[in-house]
Amino acid sequence: MLDSHHNSPPAAPRSEAISWMLARLTKTPSHSRFQSVLLVAGLVAVIGFVDYLVGVRVSLQFFYLIPIVLSVAWLGWKAGCATAILALLARVLSDLAGGFWAYHHLPIHDYIWNRLIDLSVALTLVWVIHALISLHREQEQRVRQRTAALEQAIAMRDLLQSQLFEISRRERSAIGHDLHDGLGQHLTATAIAANLLARQLATRGDPSAKDASNIENLIQEGIGKTRQIARGLLLAAIEPEELVPELEELATKIGEEQHVACSFTKQGNFSKLDGATASHLFYIAQEAAHNAVRHAQPTRLDISLVEEQNALVLTATDNGRGLPPLDAHQPGMGLRIMVHRAELIGGELSISRVTGGGTRVRCRVPWSSQRPTPGLS
């Protein structure tokens, strides 16, 4: 018994060949309609002449179908029908000129019947080719429409994201100003009042002066933390010229607060940098550095910003514990945010292991993909 699976593999190459043929036939020709008519007519004439030369012993019926198919593809089904009739006339003339009846004692009505069958086959081919081309073009039109709809949906999503980022930026900026100008000033006034109280109590020799002084110190610490929070909120958007200083300050801050040897290096010209790219790159570096300190427990962290050929590359490399096993690795919110930020500026984020231990976060942004983004988060 034959296995039915043995007959299935040729179907794929056949469908690919048909798709390739339809793609070529539905392609708009580079020549004009008049030139198409001349080409089809000339091809029929050439095939008819060759048919006359080879004689009636060799049939060129298949070759007459070629100009018919081309005529349907280039000029439409009506032109295809006309070409089928023209091909039939060319074949009849070649038979007459080549002495058909000298070799075949065929009654005239049988010959006419055979040629009518050939014509019906050619007209059927015209109908089939026209239907396939129309279906293929309709599918291409649907693909173009769906692609346009998808591009429009993506553009709307990007616009919505930009609007959400802008709203988020404004809200963060408003909160930052409220903290700095409102709560900060209130705490400053409270600290001044506590200082005056401490001095008055110290003048009287009251032992509560020390407690008042401690209260002033606590308030000063609160002022510092409030300003730090406000500064972080107000730095939601970073200008291009601020990126390098902010990355340097980030490295210094991590080194001082986390007791990790953190360095920042730069190489190249960043004059083509735009605001959106600068802001997102900074927050990617900040998130990568914080993730490394929080999860990998490194003793060294290196941040670099390098201009490569037609691209800007940000890397954050640590010598910590490295990535967890791939089967246990679940991307957290920080990683998803970094990937999303990279996509927003047309970049690509990759995370890899470092030989000898550690992790490298790399974000590559082509210069051509940079474009202003109205809002940042």
Which domain CATH number covers 306?
Answer: 3.30.565.10
Number of domains in the chain: 3
Instruction: For residue 322, give the nearest of 304, 349, 285, 295 by alpha carbon.
Output: 295
- Return d(Cα 26, Cα 141) in angstroms, integer: 12
Find where tokens 């709809």 sit: 149
Domain boundary pick from 234, 252, 271 = 234
Domain boundary pick from 125, 151, 177 = 151
**pLDDT computed for residue 6 by the predictor:** 46
Sign, CA torsion 158/161/163/165 = negative
Domain identity same for 230 and 244: no
**Residue 156 located in a structural domain:** no
- Helix, strand, coil percent content, the chain, rounded in steps of 5: 70, 10, 20
**Residue 60 located in a structural domain:** yes
pLDDT along the chain (377 residues), means of 10: 46 60 66 84 85 72 83 85 87 75 65 82 86 84 91 84 71 76 83 86 84 86 79 67 90 88 91 83 90 88 91 92 56 77 88 88 83 44
Instruction: Name the residue range of residue 261's domain.
Output: 240-369
**pLDDT computed for residue 361 by the predictor:** 94
Domain identity same for 138 and 18: yes
How many angstroms from the chain centroid is the CA of residue 340?
13
Domain identity same for 294 and 354: yes
Instruction: For residue 279, give the nearest of 128, 196, 176, 168 by alpha carbon.
Output: 168
Inter-residue contact 68 to 87 (CB < 8 Å): yes
Amino acid at 291: N
Find where tokens 């800007």 sit: 312
Q: How far is CA 40 from CA 35, 60, 85, in A?
A: 9, 16, 13
Domain identity same for 308 and 244: yes
Domain identity same for 259 and 333: yes
Domain identity same for 71 and 104: yes
**pLDDT computed for residue 234 by the predictor:** 61
**pLDDT computed for residue 374 by the predictor:** 41
Inter-residue contact 75 to 33 (CB < 8 Å): yes
Find where tokens 């074949």 sit: 91
**pLDDT computed for residue 328 by the predictor:** 40
Find where tokens 């730090």 sit: 228
Asked whether the whole model's pTM tops 0.85, one would answer: no
**Residue 206 located in a structural domain:** yes
For 240-284, the pLDDT digits (tens) are: 888 899 899 999 989 888 888 999 999 988 888 887 788 889 989
**pLDDT computed for residue 56 by the predictor:** 64
